[in-house]
Structure 1
Amino acid sequence: MKKSLTLCLTAVGCLGLIAACSSDDANTDSSSPSSSNVEINKEGFPIVDEEITLSLMAPGTGMAEWKDMPTLTEYSELTNIKFDYTTPPMSDFGTRLNLAFASGDVADIIYGAGSGNLTPGMEVDYGRQGILIPLEDLIAEYAPNIQKLLDENPEVAKSITTVDGHIYSLPAINQHPNAGWAVPMWYNGAWLDALDVEELPKTTDELYDLLVRFKEEDPNGNGEADEIPLLDVQMNSTRKAFLAAFGMKDWGVEEVNGEIRYAPSSENYKEYLAYMNKLYEEGLLDPETFSQSDEQKKAKGQENKLGLFPDWFSFFTTGETEEESMNNPMFHPLSSPITDEPLIPINPGISRGTFSITSSNEHPEASIRWVDYFYSEEGSEYLNRGPEGYLYELDDNGNKVDLELPAGYESTEEYRGTLTPAYGIPTPTLVMRYADDEVSEFDQFLDEETAEKVDAFGEVPIPLLYLTNEEQEIVNTIEVDLKSYVEQLEARFITGVEPLSNWDNYVETIEGMNIEKYVEIYQEAYDRWASS
């Protein structure tokens, strides 16, 4: 897989470059005493002259022990900071983290947790309790790369600052050209060619007409009526695009001109359900959408049975090569009878909860300096690709040359997961396309599709918000039953098990779940964010 393609799936390395930045005679004028009386070098490497050891807890992917990863071992030698790692499996990490907080036996650093494990509510709560320490002053003095990013991107600073004005966790910041993607959808280009389709649908009616043609005109050319015009797994990937066609940005609370609304109880959502039910009833939406696995979906793609389908890249589903997949155009956002403005929901490019320092840590200054490097372009690439000699080597001109995979590895990603922690978890770093990346023909294709069909119509559904402890408790009480109900009824409405004539009863049920208070809390949180 191409180097730059890897970057948009994960986050990023080059010891030769690091070494160039290191200094054997660190300037003592730029040093300052740590809270534990260990001198901190504010510039260059090592970070500390006297070796220190910290404890770090992170979700493990099972690819390799962190103590054996070259990226970490070589960076430890460079910085003079060693680690004792606790890396339970990803499936157990959330439970283990909660137990650590409850017992008070929490590591010095919590790394790669993500907002699913270290939730915004936990940041607020454990910050208030003093278990997570504020980072903003440490950043200002010891983390110039992070400070620069926050200064240049006020929305990032607002999105990681909690209700008490403190930053308790660092984010992954994604500035890659594909950063805005949710899960895109792709058309089967061979089918478009077979039907002489010269322009992609731009309205819901035009899409309906094309899906009918997919179903009825044998575009895969096998003489059988086995075409599946559109499919998904639980609507989890296509939902956003179809909600957007009816003027919605999210399957929950969303911001519309400064006002918060709950989309699944709006008239827009009713129109979305009616449209999807029509596709389902006419066999245009795969009848197994709510029962199949992702593997079953991909099997259908490899049998050339799919006309429009979601996946990160189309060849993940079709089994084609990158070159062949460039014939599969990305879905164009749609307008509909109730909205003239096409839009597509996009990610904010910020993943919270990737790095926190706890009150157990005797070296917070050294810790923030340690992570700050990964927010530079050089450090980001080092974290993602690892040091020289594994995925690449440097030629006589200092250019990176990819190396052959060692025996026993089927893909670059599989091998990379043994070299660096930046694999399968959200890591504290800046994700980007690097200056020395070779932009392949496939990358150019993706860039053009993204510019035309995502960037031109993209909107973030709602900023990343923090709630107070009291607000979070109320939201938690409402949300569990609310989400479960809406999810069940979506499937029932689309498949026709629940007729849309029962819409009013559905809305009344949602209103009875205290949705007014739910929206009010998010409105107040949004107003705080907007005025901060």
Structure 2
Amino acid sequence: MLKRILALIAALMLLSTFLLGCAGSQKPSSTESTTESTTNNTAPKKESSSNFNKTGYPIVNEKITLHFASNKGGEEISYDDPKYIWQEIEKVTNIHIEWNNIPQASWNEKKNLMLATGDLPDAFLGGNGGALTSADLITYGPQGVLLDLTDLIQEYCPNIRKMFEQNVKTRIVSTSPDGKIYSLPFVQELGSNLVYNRHYINRVWLEKLGLDIPETTDEFVEVLRKFKTEDPNGNGLADEIPLSFIHNNHNYGCYGFFTPFGSLDCASHVSVRDGKVIFEPITEGYKQAVKWLASMYKEGLIDPEVFTHDINQYRAKGQTDTMVYGVFSGWVTTWGPYTVGTIEDGQNCDYVTLPPLKGPDGTQMWQSRSPAIWGGLFAVTSANKYVPETMRWIDLCYDPEWSFELQYGPVGYMLEKDEIGIYSFIETEDPAQMPVRGKYAPGLPPSYISAEFFETRVKFSTAMQKDYDQYYTYAPYIAENYMPDVTYTQEETEENATLTADIIPYIVSTQAKWIAGEGDIDAEWDAYVEAVKKMGLDKLIENYQAAYDRYMELAKK
């Protein structure tokens, strides 16, 4: 009998250990009341009230209300809707949020008014990207309008501390030039995000004309000529558009056509090489790329509307029932009635990613962008009377599972989750019936999804897998030559705004003029460079370099 009792006790102890281990891998629930051990030797701050729980959930015993101002995306329903994910977080925390949910179009105006007048919410939260600009942070942080979160993070935020430890760039992006943290970031460590501008070539036309995927700039021009003259869509009309893009557009532009000439031009027109900030539009590679584009435009190989059509016109023109685009720029996994994939997909796709072209001297490279680590997503104001509670609330948003659902949508609508905690996406055969990301969750809120979480806890949707497959077309040719998301001092911010207001429109309009054949780039180049310098380019680069150097110093700590 005694042996049976001892065996039963041992079994119960083993079972309790197993259950505790399983609970550690799940997101906090409304019934969880765990505690966190700490190695912080500093004296604990005085809590707001006896209603507050420093560890475990709920955060408060009796419900409190906080007032947040947030920008709203186009697909989102009201944050107060019972189906919206914030309601689930309220169940866990026992904190009700009164939302001032402002449409994106009027966000900056209303946000600036709140900051200027002192009519403040308890916190600003970016639901559709950044809530606060770097200028906001460096202006209103030192004034005390926005609170320094540095010590509060150490005291109340284990998830945020872990994020800072796992990815030092998240801490750097969150740190202002005065060394203080006034805001928290959005982070998504998805490798495919690095390649934002891709080119797609018409595989159907290549096969019909007996052509291979071009590998060099010369071969590319020859392919475009055949697309223009040999009626590959077979309708007997000269309606083929060999190459189209949207000039000066981040995702749909022509930046990839600068890389064969050694230029890493991009929307910011800045790159970094060997620790030195480079302004691409005054480099020799940039000049040669513009000359090459101009030569194709002169032959009628480039859509004459690249300087005037908007995104809707661009898509409508390229997605008609009759194929008209030979090559187009974008970041897409579908293109109207046409399928999009990679060379490896073979005949399963109408358009495939075009690998980086080799230039005249054999250069083969591709530009990338800073990873999706964006600051300014959450800030606490001086009006807040429940600061510890607020910090614990926002820390929950950085819990791995809550982060994933905040970015992609709640389980049951956008996502499914199996018994071992693997997330998958709900998909339908009819695209019109597919769940819409950003309807019941903000999509770009303060949150953190690590690369490890994507690799071990997520089964990619069809579109995400296609996106990654495309990314691998370019991945071997990219390097960390992008300007990271640096922070500027107030003086630098003001100077940069003045300088770029003159410089950027000038270089964009001059590039368009040269591509369109209006002017002689060789004859005008020296005067163009001199004009840009007279507008204060050297000072602009000096500010960029100083901010970059500070960023790299923080990375060493």
Determine the structure 2 residue equivalent to 1:333: 356
**3-state SS, counterpart of residue 522 of structure 1:** helix
**3-state SS, counterpart of residue 128 of structure 1:** coil
Report the CA distance between 1:515 and its aligned residue: 0.9
% same residue = 32
Determine the structure 2 residue equivalent to 1:310: 329
The equivalent position to 1:169 in structure 2, one of 183, 192, 201, is 183
Quick one: structure 1 residues 437 and 472, their matched pair in 2 at CA, closer, same or farther if it must change by over 3 Å? closer
Quick one: structure 1 residues 397 and 352, their matched pair in 2 at CA, closer, same or farther if it must change by over 3 Å? closer
Is 2:95 the partner of 1:72? no
2:506 and 2:131 map into 1 onto residues whose CA distance is 24
Q: Which has the larger radius of gyration?
A: 2
1:493 and 1:387 map into 2 onto residues whose CA distance is 49
Report the CA distance between 1:21 and its aligned residue: 4.2
2:425 and 2:278 map into 1 onto residues whose CA distance is 49
Report the CA distance between 1:123 and its aligned residue: 1.3
Determine the structure 1 residue equivalent to 2:447: 428
**3-state SS, counterpart of residue 211 of structure 1:** helix
**Is residue 34–residue 40 contact of structure 1 (8 Å, CA) maintained in 2?**
no
Q: Which has the higher contact order (CA 8 A, sep 6+)?
A: 1
Equivalent residue runs for 1:73-472 within 5 Å: 73-112=87-126, 118-198=132-212, 200-236=213-249, 237-251=252-266, 252-303=269-320, 304-320=323-339, 326-337=349-360, 340-391=363-414, 410-414=432-436, 416-422=437-443, 425=444, 427-430=446-449, 433=454, 435=456, 437-439=458-460, 443-454=464-475, 456-472=477-493
The equivalent position to 1:59 in structure 2, one of 63, 71, 82, is 71
Report the CA distance between 1:499 and its aligned residue: 2.6
**Is residue 311–residue 317 contact of structure 1 (8 Å, CA) maintained in 2?**
no
Letter in 2 for 1:46: P
Quick one: structure 1 residues 144 and 196, their matched pair in 2 at CA, closer, same or farther if it must change by over 3 Å? farther
Quick one: structure 1 residues 441 and 482, their matched pair in 2 at CA, closer, same or farther if it must change by over 3 Å? closer
Residue-by-residue CA offset, 1:251-287 (whole Å, 9 max, x unaligned): 4232121112221122222112111111111111101
Quick one: structure 1 residues 463 and 387, their matched pair in 2 at CA, closer, same or farther if it must change by over 3 Å? closer
Letter in 1 for 2:246: V
2:31 and 2:290 map into 1 onto residues whose CA distance is 62
TM-score scaled by length of structure 2 = 0.82
Quick one: structure 1 residues 519 and 168, their matched pair in 2 at CA, closer, same or farther if it must change by over 3 Å? same
Aligned pair count?
A: 512
Residue-by-residue CA offset, 1:37-90 (whole Å, 9 max, x unaligned): 355444442122232211111112353221115311121121111111111211
The equivalent position to 1:489 in structure 2, one of 491, 507, 510, is 510
**Is residue 35–residue 362 contact of structure 1 (8 Å, CA) maintained in 2?**
no
**Is residue 243–residue 250 contact of structure 1 (8 Å, CA) maintained in 2?**
yes
2:282 and 2:477 map into 1 onto residues whose CA distance is 28
1:397 and 1:116 map into 2 onto residues whose CA distance is 34
Report the CA distance between 1:434 and its aligned residue: 6.7
Report the CA distance between 1:196 and its aligned residue: 3.1
Report the CA distance between 1:130 and its aligned residue: 1.4
1:431 and 1:283 map into 2 onto residues whose CA distance is 46
Gaps of 5+ in 1: 1-16
**Is residue 130–residue 374 contact of structure 2 (8 Å, CA) maintained in 1?**
no
**Is residue 111–residue 356 contact of structure 1 (8 Å, CA) maintained in 2?**
yes
Most deviating of 18-27 and 45-54: 18-27
Quick one: structure 1 residues 244 and 411, their matched pair in 2 at CA, closer, same or farther if it must change by over 3 Å? farther
**Is residue 424–residue 458 contact of structure 2 (8 Å, CA) maintained in 1?**
no
Report the CA distance between 1:525 and its aligned residue: 1.5
1:330 and 1:505 map into 2 onto residues whose CA distance is 38
2:548 and 2:420 map into 1 onto residues whose CA distance is 51
**Is residue 240–residue 345 contact of structure 1 (8 Å, CA) maintained in 2?**
no
TM-score scaled by length of structure 1 = 0.86
1:480 and 1:363 map into 2 onto residues whose CA distance is 41
Quick one: structure 1 residues 293 and 154, their matched pair in 2 at CA, closer, same or farther if it must change by over 3 Å? same
Letter in 1 for 2:255: K
1:340 and 1:202 map into 2 onto residues whose CA distance is 11
Is 2:547 the partner of 1:525? yes
Determine the structure 2 residue equivalent to 1:45: 57
Report the CA distance between 1:519 and its aligned residue: 0.9
Quick one: structure 1 residues 396 and 137, their matched pair in 2 at CA, closer, same or farther if it must change by over 3 Å? closer
Quick one: structure 1 residues 104 and 338, their matched pair in 2 at CA, closer, same or farther if it must change by over 3 Å? farther
**Is residue 112–residue 428 contact of structure 1 (8 Å, CA) maintained in 2?**
no
Gaps of 5+ in 2: 1-24, 39-43
Letter in 2 for 1:280: Y
1:201 and 1:402 map into 2 onto residues whose CA distance is 36
1:362 and 1:100 map into 2 onto residues whose CA distance is 17
